[in-house]
Amino acid sequence: MKIGLLGGTFDPIHLGHLRAAENAREALRLEQVAFVPAGLPPHRPRPASSALDRFAMVSLATAAHPAFVAWDVELRREGPSYTVDTVSRVREERPADLVVVIVGEDTYLEMATWREPERLFALCTVAVVARPGECAANGSSLPPPGLGARGVERVSGPGLPISSTEIRQRVREGRSVRYLVPDAVADYITKRGLYA
CATH number at residue 100: 3.40.50.620
Tell me how far apart the alpha carbons of residues 110 and 106 are, in angstroms, rounded to a whole number.
Answer: 7
Cβ count near 110 (within 10 Å)? 13
140 pLDDT higher than 60: no
* Tens digits of residue pLDDT in 84-111: 999 999 999 999 999 999 999 889 989 9
The tally of domains found in the chain comes to 1
Maximum separation of any 2 CA atoms in the chain, in Å: 48
Tell me how far apart the alpha carbons of residues 3 and 101 are, in angstroms, rounded to a whole number.
Answer: 8
56 pLDDT higher than 60: yes
Q: What one-character-per-residue DSSP string does 118-169 give?
A: HHHHHH-EEEEEPPTT--GGG-PPPP--STT-SEEEEE-S------HHHHHH
Q: Which whole-number Å values give the CA distances from 56 to 92, 116, 183, in the listed order? A: 26, 30, 13
Q: Which of 80, 149, 89, 87 is nearest to 118 (CA)?
A: 149
What number is the average pLDDT over the span 6-24?
97
Q: What's residue 26's pLDDT?
A: 97
18 pLDDT higher than 50: yes
Residue 31 lies in a domain: yes
Q: What's residue 148's pLDDT?
A: 46
Binned at pLDDT 50, 70 and 90, residue 142 comes out as: low
Q: Which whole-number Å values give the CA distances from 49 to 6, 53, 96, 117, 178, in the listed order? A: 19, 6, 35, 28, 19
Residue 188 lies in a domain: no
Quote the mean pLDDT of the chain: 91
Tell me how far apart the alpha carbons of residues 179 and 55 are, in angstroms, rounded to a whole number.
Answer: 20
Residue 168 lies in a domain: no
Distant-in-sequence, close-in-space partners of 28: CB < 8 Å, separation ≥ 6: 2, 4, 100, 127, 153, 155
Residue 185 lies in a domain: no
Domain that residue 59 falls in: 2-159
Question: Radius of gyration of the chain from Cα atoms?
Answer: 16
4 SS3 class: strand
Residue 194 lies in a domain: no
Residue 16 lies in a domain: yes
Q: What's residue 136's pLDDT?
A: 44
Q: What's residue 111's pLDDT?
A: 92
Cβ count near 97 (within 10 Å)? 14
Residue 171 lies in a domain: no
Residue 176 lies in a domain: no
Quote the pTM value: 0.91
The continuous run of DSSP H or E covering 35 comes out as strand 32-37
